[in-house]
């Protein structure tokens, strides 16, 4: 079909996506280009093509297909003049030659150009207008486009008239590539090119690939080009304007613990720290829903309504009511929703400089205290270490929690050397006199399989006590192996769980497990030791 006869559908805007921009990409034969559709229209399109159903609260429920989590081994970055000497090439930043990008790009464009319809959305990242990044998302599926609506920031209608995308995300979930021809590992790929300012996604319907693709490029642009620290963290702000940030990998509690009814939510996952503020990259939340209950996580639970996109859940038989305990498809069940679905969201999603930082770790060994206060050296050591446990389902092939070290609590998304982010964080912590706490949301009373997960109620009480200054004047003990200080008492929390050793029936077994975990820390830190100062090195565990 000739471009002049193409049919362009619009909803919220009277401005159609510029045809010239599509021709420039090579899209000329698509019969229907749906531009900037509303969530309601995207839901109807998903239902029309038979790829989703509504649950009993009106949320759209879809299955992402073969992939229900990220596939880190299939994420590649083009190695060219821009990235060759600036990207920290490793098992997460996997290089690919420029000519393979050209091949994959042509394959995806040719594939999309043969579709009867595609969905396009203009949006942006970074709530601080000084760092705004305009993004155009081109999707094979309407539900992918709904995810982009929910997760990125939404331009006003008048802004669309002169919108110029700086980056493109092009996603074709059903396209299976030839690995040999495309220089990739298997039929799916997430491919980043800083030269072309594009993220190409093929063969995977997992919506998180879009979100983390943009996060990855911001983790390059902001520290490398703008001297702004990018962070894998959630953030909220209290009634007195005190900002708190929560570092942690998926499953450690970033989304849950930052959704506090007594504090305004800035964001649940991706932020930047400038000289004068903390700002959110995103316009929405992407929360895990496994074992979700209204009692434990009311803000997330009540966000599952019309406009929300729920992924890979199952219903109770004969109903359209979600069984949040059902992990038969994946442990990594998810919901995305706009930030304003949270009743106490901060608008715009910007806060002042932080007073408290929390490192969230899901300790599968049950060794670390439920809350500890860290010295500057210990804080840097723990940040560089990024200890937690990968939780089942977040990544393909992970079926049970296992210990891992992820530098800066976000190694898979950091294009630069971890030392760059750690150096920037250290400077900001010291300059702003920030309190740094480590919170174990993992196991107590024994390791995974023997002990039990720390009660969310107690974790909330400990964080609230830290934020309100109630741990400033209590007595502390020092862990004999890790050297970190933990309070002897905390309002609302049983005294006997504050010292992890006390929760184990076999104290000798605890001591041995603590030494074992310390050994893992020490071994992991060997690769950073040469670049770390004496204060940071002294912040590690001692055997």
d(CA 251, CA 142): 28
Catalytic residue list contains 250: yes
CA 396 to chain CA centroid, nearest Å:
16
Catalytic residue list contains 254: yes
Residue from 13, 64, 68, 70 carrying the catalytic annotation: 70
Residue from 212, 288, 355, 479 carrying the catalytic annotation: 212
How many Cα atoms occupy the beta-carbon half-sphere of 382 within 13 Å? 26
Residue from 269, 274, 361, 372 carrying the catalytic annotation: 269
Residue from 211, 334, 373, 479 carrying the catalytic annotation: 334
Residue from 79, 154, 232, 288 carrying the catalytic annotation: 232
Q: Is 305 exposed, middle or buried (0-12, 13-18, 19+ CB in 10 A)?
A: middle
Task: Output the CA angle 471-476-482, nearest 5 degrees.
Answer: 115
Catalytic residue list contains 355: no
45, 119 Cβ separation under 8 angstroms: yes
C-alpha distances in Å from residue 386, one per residue of 98, 145, 273, 359: 32, 33, 19, 8
Catalytic residue list contains 86: no
Residue from 254, 263, 460, 513 carrying the catalytic annotation: 254
d(CA 208, CA 172): 14
* CA-based nearest residue to 209, from 189, 187, 225, 233: 189
361, 252 Cβ separation under 8 angstroms: yes
CA 101 to chain CA centroid, nearest Å:
25
d(CA 423, CA 167): 28
Please write down the long-range contacts of 528-537, taking CB distance under 8 Å and 24 or more positions apart. 528/384, 528/407, 528/418, 528/419, 531/419, 532/380, 532/381, 532/384, 535/376, 535/377, 535/380, 536/377, 536/380, 536/381, 536/384, 537/377, 537/381
d(CA 369, CA 127): 35
Residue from 64, 250, 289, 361 carrying the catalytic annotation: 250
Catalytic residue list contains 116: no
Catalytic residue list contains 136: no
Question: Pairing relation of β-strands 322-323 and 314-315?
Answer: antiparallel
Residue from 46, 68, 204, 255 carrying the catalytic annotation: 255
Q: Is 137 helix (H, G, I), strand (E, B) or coil?
A: strand
- Catalytic positions, written as ranges: 70, 212, 232, 250, 254-255, 269, 334
């Amino acid at each position: 079909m000739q471009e002049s006869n193409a049919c362009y559908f619009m909803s919220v805007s009277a401005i159609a996506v510029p045809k010239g921009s599509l021709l420039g990409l090579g899209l000329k034969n698509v019969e229907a280009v749906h531009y900037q559709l509303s969530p309601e229209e995207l839901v109807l399109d998903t239902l029309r093509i038979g790829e989703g159903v509504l649950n009993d609260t009106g949320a759209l429920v879809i299955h992402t297909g073969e992939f229900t989590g990220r596939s880190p081994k299939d994420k590649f970055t083009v190695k060219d003049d821009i990235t060759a000497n600036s990207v920290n090439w490793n098992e997460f930043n996997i290089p690919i030659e420029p000519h393979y990008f050209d091949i994959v790009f042509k394959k995806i464009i040719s594939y999309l150009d043969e579709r009867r319809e595609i969905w396009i959305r203009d949006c942006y990242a970074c709530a601080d207008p000084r760092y705004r990044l305009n993004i155009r998302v081109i999707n094979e599926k309407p539900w992918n486009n709904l995810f982009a609506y929910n997760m990125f920031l939404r331009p006003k209608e008048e802004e669309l008239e002169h919108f110029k995308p700086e980056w493109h995300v092009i996603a074709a979930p059903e396209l299976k590539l030839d690995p040999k021809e495309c220089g990739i590992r298997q039929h799916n790929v997430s491919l980043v090119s800083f030269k072309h300012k594009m993220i190409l996604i093929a063969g995977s319907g997992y919506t998180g690939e879009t979100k983390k693709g943009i996060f990855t490029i911001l983790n390059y642009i902001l520290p490398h080009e703008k001297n702004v620290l990018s962070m894998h963290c959630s953030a909220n702000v209290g009634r007195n304007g005190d900002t708190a940030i929560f570092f942690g990998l998926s499953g450690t509690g970033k989304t849950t613990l930052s959704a506090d009814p007594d504090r305004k939510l800035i964001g649940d996952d991706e932020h930047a720290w400038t000289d004068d503020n903390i700002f959110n990259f995103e316009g929405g939340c992407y929360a895990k829903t496994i074992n979700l209950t209204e009692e434990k996580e009311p803000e997330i639970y009540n966000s599952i309504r019309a406009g929300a996109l729920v992924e890979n859940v199952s219903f109770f038989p004969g109903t359209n009511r979600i069984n949040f305990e059902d992990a038969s498809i994946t442990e990594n069940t998810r919901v995305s929703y706009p930030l304003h679905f949270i009743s106490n969201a901060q608008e715009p999603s910007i806060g002042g400089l932080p007073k408290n930082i929390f490192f969230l770790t899901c300790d599968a060994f049950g060794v670390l205290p439920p809350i500890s206060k860290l010295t500057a050296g210990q804080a840097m050591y723990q940040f560089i270490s990024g200890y937690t446990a990968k939780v089942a389902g977040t990544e393909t092939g992970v079926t049970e929690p296992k210990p891992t070290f992820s530098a800066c609590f976000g190694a898979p998304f950091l294009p630069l050397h971890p030392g760059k982010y750690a150096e920037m964080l250290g400077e900001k912590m010291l300059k702003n006199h920030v309190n740094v706490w480590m919170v174990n949301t993992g196991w107590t009373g024994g390791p995974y399989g023997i002990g039990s997960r720390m009660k969310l109620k107690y974790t909330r009480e400990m964080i609230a006590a830290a934020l309100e200054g109630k741990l400033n004047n209590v007595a502390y003990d020092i862990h004999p192996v890790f050297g970190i200080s933990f309070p002897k008492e905390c309002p609302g929390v049983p005294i006997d769980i504050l010292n992890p050793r006390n929760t184990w029936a076999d104290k000798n077994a605890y001591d041995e497990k603590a030494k074992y975990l310390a050994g893992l820390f020490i071994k992991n830190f060997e690769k950073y030791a040469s670049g770390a100062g004496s204060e940071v090195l002294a912040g590690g565990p001692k055997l």
